[in-house]
Homo-oligomer: A and B are copies of this chain.
Amino acid sequence: MSVASELIRGNTETIILAQLMKGDGYGYMVNKAIFNLTGGKFELKEATLYTAFRRLEDAGCIVSYWGDETTGARRRYYSITDLGRESYRLRKKEWETAEAVIDKLLAEGEKGVSK
């Protein structure tokens, strides 16, 4: 089953930060990594990807620099900042809280009606 992007909403920035926690990367690469990690079940749309990078940079969570490619298309690399690392930790905790709450609420439907 592929992933409903409705349900990913609000997590895209955290997902990107998680990738950058492992080291610098550029947009296209980050998205391919996500695609591969999920076995093709999910990938960010380009418009979503690049606007998320913009927001993260505006917020000071990441900084960017152009790669020195002598061949092929230019690449804009991103590096996570201390603020970004802190933000990643916080967002991950928030996700875990939300996850537990949703799990609990959706499980209510399994109780059925006793009559």
Q: Is A11 an interface residue (CB 8 A)?
A: yes
The complex places the Cα of A113 from the Cα of B23 at a distance, in Å, of 6
- Nearest CB of B to A25, in Å: 11
Give the number of copies in the complex: 2
Chain B residues whose CB sits within 8 angstroms of the CB of A106 once the complex forms = 11, 14-15, 18, 92, 95
In the complex, what distance in Å separates the CA atom of A46 from the CA atom of B101? 19
Q: Residues of A within 8 Å of B, CB-based: how many?
A: 44
- Minimal Cβ-Cβ distance residue in B for A92: B106
Which A residues form the contact surface with B (CB < 8 A)? 1-4, 6-11, 14-15, 17-19, 21-23, 34, 37-38, 41-42, 88, 92-95, 97-99, 101-113
